[in-house]
Amino acid sequence: MLFFLNHIAMFLSLLAIEVVFALGALAHNSTFQNPILPGFHPDPSCIFVPDWDDTFFCASSSFLVFPGIPIHASRDLIDWRLVSNALSRPEQEPGINTAKRATSGIWASTIRYRDGIFYVVTSLVYDDYPKNASNRFDSFIITSTNPYSSASWSNPLHFNFTGYDTSPFWDDDGQLYIPGTHAWEITPGIQMVTLDLDTGTIGPYINIWNGTGASSPEGPHIYKKDNYYYLLIAEGGTGSRHMATIGRSKNITGPYESNPHNPVLTNANTTHYFQNTGHADLFQDADDNWWAVALSVRQGPDGSYPMGRETILTPVTWNEGEWPVFTNASGHMNGWYLDPEDPIEEGEGSLVDSSVHLTFPPGSKLAPEFVHWRFPVNGSYVVSPAGYPNTLQLTSSLSNLTGADGRSAEPEGQTFIGRRQVHSFFTFSTIFDISTLHSQEAEVGVTVFVDQLHHWDLGIVLGSPSTPPVTTGYSGPSTSTNSTTLVPYLRLRGITTVPNFIFPDIAIVPMPAVWSNKITLEIRASNITHYTFSAGPVGSQGQMQDIGFAPGLGLTWGFTGALLGVYATSNGGAGEFKTYVSDWIYNGLGQVVD
Ligand SMILES: *[C@@H]1O[C@H](CO)[C@@H](O)[C@H](O)[C@H]1NC(C)=O
Ligand SMILES: *[C@@H]1O[C@H](CO)[C@@H](O)[C@H](O)[C@H]1NC(C)=O
Ligand SMILES: *[C@@H]1O[C@H](CO)[C@@H](O)[C@H](O)[C@H]1NC(C)=O
Ligand SMILES: *[C@@H]1O[C@H](CO)[C@@H](O)[C@H](O)[C@H]1NC(C)=O
Ligand SMILES: *[C@@H]1O[C@H](CO)[C@@H](O)[C@H](O)[C@H]1NC(C)=O
Ligand SMILES: *[C@@H]1O[C@H](CO)[C@@H](O)[C@H](O)[C@H]1NC(C)=O
Ligand SMILES: *[C@@H]1O[C@H](CO)[C@@H](O)[C@H](O)[C@H]1NC(C)=O
Ligand SMILES: *[C@@H]1O[C@H](CO)[C@@H](O)[C@H](O)[C@H]1NC(C)=O
Ligand SMILES: *[C@@H]1O[C@H](CO)[C@@H](O)[C@H](O)[C@H]1NC(C)=O
Ligand SMILES: *[C@@H]1O[C@H](CO)[C@@H](O)[C@H](O)[C@H]1NC(C)=O
Ligand SMILES: *[C@@H]1O[C@H](CO)[C@@H](O)[C@H](O)[C@H]1NC(C)=O
């Protein structure tokens, strides 16, 4: 139905464009809706590549989510398809498993194209290391000659830029410069080095600009236009004071003069639904019109934004010799006219906001939008194993989704697979076969997962009337091992570090004895602040029961955004088991944009 309406809307907007042409009016403009990449797609960087059929490509940050650095492509800036993941092999960046703390991992990535090669430049940050530790940052470049293939992305060339938000700029003479930022508490300001791509050797650091004086100058990108080097940066931190500012200089090493109209983009000190807007990148379309992408959050009335930092688009007017003028970001936008195009057909993944009904047919593979927290354990996720066609077999992990300390990789992994939440309103459900659960605290379930210390889980967990499943902290495997007395419970619980936040609705109820071994678990966003969790036996929609609800505010933390997925764990107890998931349904039901 939603798609049907979209088509009508598209048809009507085509009609509108025809009418405008017919009238010979000047208003050859497009309308579009933000965010263009909804859900956890922060720190966007985008390019326009005429050599590749006039296609736009964007990269976004992935932190400890793997596969990482998703690459999206579009020909009209409206329909975006996930075409590859630039990080898809653990050996590319083993640090994703060794870095501790949820704010670690792949920070902002910049994508560029030059002479037939796509470049992604980024840094893996070990955010638990001291701010002044020289091994806190692992900066690297990977390349591809086919962005529609994850396998085409190279292993990294590492270079010792001891900072983050690294971004490449090639000057007219071919010299490669990398601006980035050091840990700003230690050495403030935007730093730049030269880089030799053959050897990975960098030149001396030059502190080229400190921005306008707000905190955390970071996210630099350099553009050359009308004999000026323009330096676009983010300032104010990635929270409510976030903004994009710009400076320019006739010499790449500076000094950079600040735009008198800074900031060029911010929603700070407004009550706009789109908040924390900043960290932008600029590019031109086929008609040489300028656009910017930036990150933003859609902040609910209670301050929540569990989907995290999303990618927004805004038109930019940049006249010769003048400063660029960005249009303020909102949900409903007008922009430069672009010819309507069919969605990209190439690439490995789906349109970013598509709904799915996955039946795991034999011989099929999991699409690249399915992700794990850190590296998956090989063999723990098998599509249609022998004897269980049309299922996804999960092998349980010892560790639950939090793990021992909530900040480290678990030695034997954390069995979890999910997709980004990309709609304000959605339903997500899967069917679990629980006949294989036999030990106390054996658990399968669905989760809204932001990181190891921020997730709400609805599980089916074994306990006995004398030793029911624990409601809060796990206290070790139970001594009651008489499996004949174990019965399934439905347990809604979660974990958060959001200050003063109290989980409102811990629920633990025995599963009705008449329910079978095939259970549907469902999460839905029924309003813009809360998730509702429900369960029911398969094949009887009427019997779905709401088990409880939980607010997105407890998941509003850090740098990542909500993933919706499934997990299987023995919660520290003995008794690894396999479980079978089927009918994975994610239905997008709408976006709230103002
Ligand atoms: C078309 O969009 C551009 C970029 O936002 C804007 O500068 C221009 O005023 C718009 N034109 C009309 C007629 O709305
Ligand atoms: C880093 O900072 C800490 C605390 O200020 C200090 O003790 C340490 O010597 C510093 N290390 C380096 C490598 O500068
Ligand atoms: C990287 O550079 C820093 C100085 O910025 C230096 O302290 C460190 O030893 C270098 N690391 C390597 C591996 O060369
Ligand atoms: C940036 O700030 C530092 C410390 O406040 C100062 O030493 C440096 O000169 C400034 N850099 C520029 C380019 O203004
Ligand atoms: C840019 O500034 C640097 C440092 O002051 C200087 O060495 C260089 O000659 C300047 N380049 C140009 C093109 O003016
Ligand atoms: C854009 O936003 C800025 C900052 O909130 C505000 O000062 C300015 O008036 C806005 N411009 C328009 C055209 O609404
Ligand atoms: C927002 O308001 C704060 C507090 O008054 C001020 O420090 C900051 O500069 C303002 N930010 C912007 C982008 O206007
Ligand atoms: C898992 O398998 C892949 C591909 O076969 C391999 O590259 C990777 O090293 C394996 N990982 C582990 C932890 O064994
Ligand atoms: C998961 O297990 C750990 C210990 O292994 C425990 O501290 C934590 O409370 C458990 N709970 C959740 C919700 O993950
Ligand atoms: C396990 O429970 C059953 C049923 O309550 C009981 O008959 C049996 O003796 C128990 N076995 C052990 C080892 O406790
Ligand atoms: C959303 O739903 C929850 C649970 O029913 C309710 O407590 C909350 O007030 C609702 N929020 C809004 C904004 O309607």
Q: Are 292 and 408 within one domain?
A: no
Contact status, residue 334 vs residue 31, Cβ threshold 8 Å: yes
- For residue 163, tell me if it sits in a domain: yes
CATH number of domain containing 274: 2.115.10.20
Shortest-distance ligand to the CA of residue 242: 7
Q: Are 214 and 278 within one domain?
A: yes
The Å distance, Cα 410 to ligand 11 centre, comes to: 35
Rounded distance between C-alpha atoms, residue 279 and residue 544, angstroms: 43
Catalytic residue among 218, 235, 285, 369: 218
- For residue 6, tell me if it sits in a domain: no
| Residue 339 confidence (pLDDT) | 87
- Please give the number of the atom of ligand 1 that sits closest to the Cα of 25: 13
The length of the chain is 594
- Please give the number of the atom of ligand 4 that sits closest to the Cα of 210: 1
- For residue 36, tell me if it sits in a domain: no
- Is the C-beta atom of 464 inside 6 A of ligand 10? no
Q: Are 430 and 313 within one domain?
A: no
Give the distance, in angstroms, between the CA of residue 260 and the centroid of all CA atoms in the same chain: 34
Q: Are 281 and 390 within one domain?
A: no
Determine the structural domain holding residue 222 and report its residue range.
Answer: 41-336
Q: Cis peptide before 263, with omega less than 30 degrees from 0?
A: yes
Q: Cis peptide before 477, with omega less than 30 degrees from 0?
A: no
- Is the C-beta atom of 483 inside 6 A of ligand 10? no
Single residue among 302, 336, 370 that ends a domain in this structure: 336
Q: Is 53 a catalytic residue?
A: no
Shortest-distance ligand to the CA of residue 90: 8
| Residue 551 confidence (pLDDT) | 93
Contact status, residue 103 vs residue 136, Cβ threshold 8 Å: no
Please tell me the residue having the least CA distance from ligand 10 atom 5: 485
- Is the C-beta atom of 268 inside 6 A of ligand 7? yes
The Å distance, Cα 241 to ligand 7 centre, comes to: 7
- Is the C-beta atom of 401 inside 6 A of ligand 9? yes
Digit-by-digit pLDDT tens for the chain (594 residues) are 333 334 444 444 444 444 444 443 345 789 999 999 999 999 999 999 999 999 999 999 999 999 999 999 999 999 999 999 999 999 999 999 999 999 999 999 999 999 999 999 999 999 999 998 989 999 999 999 999 999 999 999 999 999 999 999 999 999 999 999 987 667 789 999 999 999 999 999 999 999 999 999 999 999 999 999 999 999 999 999 999 999 999 999 999 999 999 999 999 999 999 999 999 999 999 999 999 999 999 999 999 999 999 999 999 999 999 999 999 999 999 999 998 889 999 999 999 999 999 999 999 999 999 999 999 999 999 999 999 999 999 999 999 999 999 999 999 999 999 999 999 999 999 999 999 999 989 999 999 999 999 999 999 999 887 777 776 543 334 445 555 578 999 999 999 999 877 666 578 899 998 898 999 999 999 899 999 999 999 976 668 999 999 999 999 999 999 999 999 999 998 889 999 999 999 999 999 999
Q: Are 130 and 279 within one domain?
A: yes
Q: Are 469 and 326 within one domain?
A: no
| Residue 421 confidence (pLDDT) | 98
Q: Are 402 and 489 within one domain?
A: yes
- For residue 532, tell me if it sits in a domain: yes
Q: Are 183 and 80 within one domain?
A: yes
Rounded distance between C-alpha atoms, residue 121 and residue 108, angstroms: 9
- For residue 371, tell me if it sits in a domain: yes
Q: Are 319 and 381 within one domain?
A: no
Q: Are 242 and 371 within one domain?
A: no
Single residue among 308, 336, 364 that ends a domain in this structure: 336
Please tell me the residue having the least CA distance from ligand 3 atom 7: 134
Q: Is 218 a catalytic residue?
A: yes
- Please give the number of the atom of ligand 10 that sits closest to the Cα of 482: 1
**Pocket probe mutation, ligand 3, options 139, 159, 160, max atoms within 8 Å of Cβ:** 160
- For residue 7, tell me if it sits in a domain: no
CATH number of domain containing 482: 2.60.120.200
The Å distance, Cα 240 to ligand 8 centre, comes to: 41
589: number of Cβ within 10 Å: 15
The Å distance, Cα 330 to ligand 1 centre, comes to: 15
Give the largest Cα separation in the chain, rounded: 81
Task: Work out how many domains the chain is built from and give that number.
Answer: 2
The Å distance, Cα 270 to ligand 6 centre, comes to: 9
- Is the C-beta atom of 477 inside 6 A of ligand 4? no
- For residue 577, tell me if it sits in a domain: yes
**Pocket probe mutation, ligand 3, options 134, 139, 195, max atoms within 8 Å of Cβ:** 134
The Å distance, Cα 445 to ligand 10 centre, comes to: 28
Tokens 């011989």 appear where?
Answer: 363
**Pocket probe mutation, ligand 9, options 474, 475, 491, 567, max atoms within 8 Å of Cβ:** 474
- Global pTM? 0.92
Contact status, residue 150 vs residue 143, Cβ threshold 8 Å: no
3-state secondary structure of 54: coil
The Å distance, Cα 471 to ligand 10 centre, comes to: 25
For 4-29, letters b (16+ CB in 10 Å) and e give: eeeeeeeeeeeeebeeeeeeeeeeee
**Pocket probe mutation, ligand 7, options 215, 242, 269, max atoms within 8 Å of Cβ:** 269
Shortest-distance ligand to the CA of residue 237: 7
- Is the C-beta atom of 402 inside 6 A of ligand 9? yes
Q: Spell out the residues 6+ positions from residue 373 whose beta carbon is closer than 8 angstroms to its own.
A: 64, 65, 66, 401, 414, 416, 449, 451, 452, 563
Single residue among 268, 303, 336 that ends a domain in this structure: 336
Q: Cis peptide before 67, with omega less than 30 degrees from 0?
A: yes
Q: Are 329 and 390 within one domain?
A: no
Q: What share of the chain is helix, strand, coil (3-state, %, to 5)?
A: 10, 40, 50
- For residue 187, tell me if it sits in a domain: yes
Q: Are 440 and 553 within one domain?
A: yes
Tokens of 489: 């419970």
The Å distance, Cα 171 to ligand 5 centre, comes to: 14
